[in-house]
Amino acid sequence: MANDFDGFPKECVRFFKEIGKNNTRQWFEEHRADYESYVMEPSREFVLAMGSRLRRIVPGIHADPRVNKSIFRLFRDTRFSRDKTPYKTHLGLWFWEGDGKRMEHSGFYFHLDPPNLMLGVGIYMFPKHIMEEYRNSVVHDRYGKELTRAITKVRKVPGCGIGREKYKRVPRGFDPDHPNAEFLKYGGFYAGIETKIPKELHTPEVVDYCYSQFKQFLPVHKWLVGVIDRATE
């Protein structure tokens, strides 16, 4: 049941600390049972519990407790990376709104990377078919003002960070003096906070804790959902 989640065990945090020091296939195979018991099982339970809670504010949220759905895979893609270590040293969980490819929608992100926990809302990287509508919305008379209001609200959250700037210059064809010009340089858009791992992580209260944080960033999520809806009409 979604309401039976008791929190992430301390062994979950310990697993990621240890794999950071022993990032080899041999070590992982020796600790695969720990990964299943202390990481995957509580992650699946958390996804169900968090999805149930998020539906209070986003009825259509996707919370799918499978790998490559709400649970990011542990294995790294090393094909184009100089870093050939095989495993990630963090836990990523994703709750998204919209049909189609999960990473082409705005959503709520849980990122456990000991000793820190990051909670964010948004879309990390705009696909091409979203980028054009995003930029037009940033400078639109109505949607641009809605973005300004959303950012004003979330910046009141202590420790709030907003990203992600990708380009050094405002793209050609847009006014570099526009009040929202800085956001035209973004390749994705998200807002969130990063803190030391809270004590709630190991208790049932972690669902309430994450929900209260996610809810503060809801204006950004709603604005992005509008962008994506217009881009895919």
Q: Tell me the pTM.
A: 0.94
How far apart are the C-alpha atoms of 224 and 162, rounded to whole Å? 14
Residue appearing with tokens 């003002």? 145
Q: What is the percent of the chain where pLDDT is above 90?
A: 92
Report yes or no: 226 and 143 within 8 Å, Cβ to Cβ: yes
- List the chain domain ranges: 2-231
Q: Give the mean pLDDT of 142-157.
A: 97
Please report the pLDDT score of residue 1 as a whole number: 39
**What are the tokens at 182?**
């800085």
* Packing angle of the helix pair 128-139, 143-154 (nearest 10 deg): 90
**Gyration radius of the chain's alpha carbons:** 19
Tens of pLDDT, residue by residue over 44-89, are 999 999 999 999 999 999 999 999 999 999 999 888 788 889 999 9
Q: Report domain 2-231's class.
A: alpha beta
Average pLDDT over every residue of 189-211: 97
Enumerate residues 6+ apart whose C-beta is below 8 A from 178: 138, 139, 144, 170, 184
Question: What's the confidence (pLDDT) of residue 3?
Answer: 57
